[in-house]
């Protein structure tokens, strides 16, 4: 499969790291936890990267910006469900230590990416 431009974005690579780490963690949970919280975590974390990719595939900056805003919302949703998982003792301290820097880094990178979209167009 050939590499597309969005796959070279640092923000996209971080979104993949978050999605993969969440899936690996949730896969170890019991059926009830997977069904109630795990499915939501995996879905919302996957949505971050999916929306970055979809926005990059749109060939105008307004659509791209809209999808990055949706990605930002999906990241917030992921954070919410991770907090629920932590409160329900589903995440170990080691898992939190692994996920926290990715989440903390991804949020400002999404904002920076959002601000950068369309700048070249605005200067024309």
Q: What percent of the chain has pLDDT over 90?
A: 84
Q: Is the pLDDT of residue 123 over 60?
A: no
Q: What is the mean pLDDT of residues 38-65?
A: 94
Of the pLDDT bands very low, low, confident and very high (cuts 50, 70, 90), residue 58 is: confident
What's domain 5-123's architecture? Up-down Bundle (1.20)
Count of C-beta atoms within a 10 Å radius of residue 13? 16
For the cut 70, the answer to whether the pLDDT of residue 122 exceeds it is no
Q: Phi-psi region for residue 89, left (φ > 0), alpha (ψ -120 to 50) or beta?
A: left
Can you give the pLDDT at residue 60?
A: 87
Angle at 67 between CA 43 and CA 95, to 5 degrees: 35
Least confident among 4-8, 37-41, 85-89, 110-114: 4-8
pLDDT at position 2 = 47
Check whether 64 has a pLDDT greater than 80.
Answer: yes
Q: Cβ(82)–Cβ(41) under 8 Å? A: yes
User: How far apart (Å, rounded) are the C-alpha atoms in residues 109 and 92?
Assistant: 26
pTM of the model: 0.90
């Amino acid at each position: 499969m050939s590499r597309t431009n969005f796959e070279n974005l640092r923000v996209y690579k971080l979104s993949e790291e978050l999605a993969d780490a969440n899936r690996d963690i949730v896969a170890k949970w019991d059926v009830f936890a997977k069904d109630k919280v795990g499915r939501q975590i995996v879905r919302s974390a996957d949505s971050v990267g999916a929306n970055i990719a979809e926005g990059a595939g749109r060939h105008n900056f307004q659509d791209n910006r809209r999808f990055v805003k949706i990605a930002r919302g999906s990241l917030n949703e992921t954070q919410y469900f991770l907090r629920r998982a932590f409160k329900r003792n589903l995440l170990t301290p080691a898992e939190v230590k692994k996920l926290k820097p990715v989440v903390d880094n991804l949020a400002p990178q999404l904002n920076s990416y959002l601000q950068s979209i369309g700048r070249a167009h605005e200067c024309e």
